[in-house]
Homo-oligomer: A and B are copies of this chain.
Amino acid sequence: MQPTELQISAIPGLPEVVAGDNLGRLIVEAIHSAAMQVKEKDVFVVAQKVVSKAEGRVVPLSTIQPSSLAHAWSDIHDKEAAVVEVVLGQTRRLVRMERGILIVETQQGYVCANAGVDTSNAPPGTVTLLPEDPDSSAARIRDALQEQFGVPLGVIISDTFGRPWREGLVNVALGVAGLDPFLDYRGYHDGFGRRLHATVIAVADEIASAAELVMGKTRRVPVALVRGFDYREAEGWGRNMIRPSEQDLFR
């Protein structure tokens, strides 16, 4: 079921992405320019930032009227009030609001810092929002890639998120298309013949993390190719990776 070797490759040569770009087509062109081959079941991991830019999810801060809550919070914690207002606008529930840190449940359901609103690698005076529906974004890119390459492929839209208990950020899967985001061992047996229970691996997150290692934040390499993982083909649904609030002990 699992491979013995994976390759993770950066896809170079993607131009600066702007609103209206067909990201699937840009990736196809980058693949061709780099003379890279595409094989059945290759997984393309695409950084959320370029998806957001292509989808026009870029907000000029000059258009924002900060609320009194945004002003109050930004005054105390030396933040930009317009950025805080954008964060609050992307939020459906505040999970933690202390020590200058805003952990929220976004309108899409992700739990993360600052609702995924980001100032880095965005044009000056603007911030990027998360894609409105990363699963649909992934499916659209997958359609474009499959049409071109004629083989089943997977696409993951990724972002770097912090997490409780551990330092540092890791890449996770927001949107998923073409692969089951989980590998479910329940019902399998271990090396001693004992039935495994409660072991479901979030392989889409692990693939996203693997891809981050070649993507980098200071270079423009927002797309990576993961080859060799024999995933279960499925529609995908990264949204299923979000633990339902009522089952979450930490919300």
Using a CB–CB cutoff of 8 Å, the interface residues on chain A facing chain B are 1-10, 12, 16, 96, 98-99, 101, 103, 110-111, 119-124, 160, 163-172, 181-182, 185, 188-192, 194, 196, 199-203, 205-207, 209-210, 212-221, 229, 240-243, 248-251
Contact call A164/B2, Cβ cutoff below 8 A: no
* Residues of chain B with a CB closer than 8 A to A168's CB: 181-182, 200-203, 205, 241
* Residues of chain B with a CB closer than 8 A to A9's CB: 4-6
Contact call A166/B202, Cβ cutoff below 8 A: yes
Contact call A2/B213, Cβ cutoff below 8 A: yes
Known: A99-B249, A119-B194. A217 touches B200 (CB 8 A): no
List, sorted by A's number, 23 A–B pairs whose CB atoms are closer than 8 Å: A2-B10, A2-B216, A2-B221, A96-B249, A98-B249, A101-B249, A111-B164, A119-B194, A120-B196, A121-B190, A121-B191, A123-B192, A163-B165, A164-B251, A165-B250, A167-B182, A167-B243, A168-B181, A188-B217, A190-B217, A191-B218, A196-B218, A201-B217
* Residues of chain B with a CB closer than 8 A to A192's CB: 121-124
Minimum-distance CB pairs A-B, first 10: A168-B202, A210-B210, A164-B250, A209-B209, A206-B209, A111-B165, A6-B8, A4-B10, A2-B216, A121-B190
In the complex, how many angstroms separate the beta carbon of A120 from the nearest chain B beta carbon? 5
Contact call B8/A206, Cβ cutoff below 8 A: no
A164 contacts which of B122, B189, B243 (Cβ < 8 Å)? Answer: B243
Q: How far is the CA of A135 from the CA of B243 in the complex (A)?
A: 31
Known: A7-B6, A190-B218. A251 touches B165 (CB 8 A): yes
* Residues of chain B with a CB closer than 8 A to A172's CB: 166
Contact call B201/A120, Cβ cutoff below 8 A: no
Other CB < 8 Å A-B pairs besides A2-B215, A4-B221, A124-B194, 4 of them? A5-B7, A165-B243, A168-B203, A206-B210
A120 contacts which of B2, B199, B219, B248 (Cβ < 8 Å)? Answer: B199
Q: How far is the CA of A200 from the CA of B166 in the complex (A)?
A: 12
* Residues of chain B with a CB closer than 8 A to A248's CB: 164-165
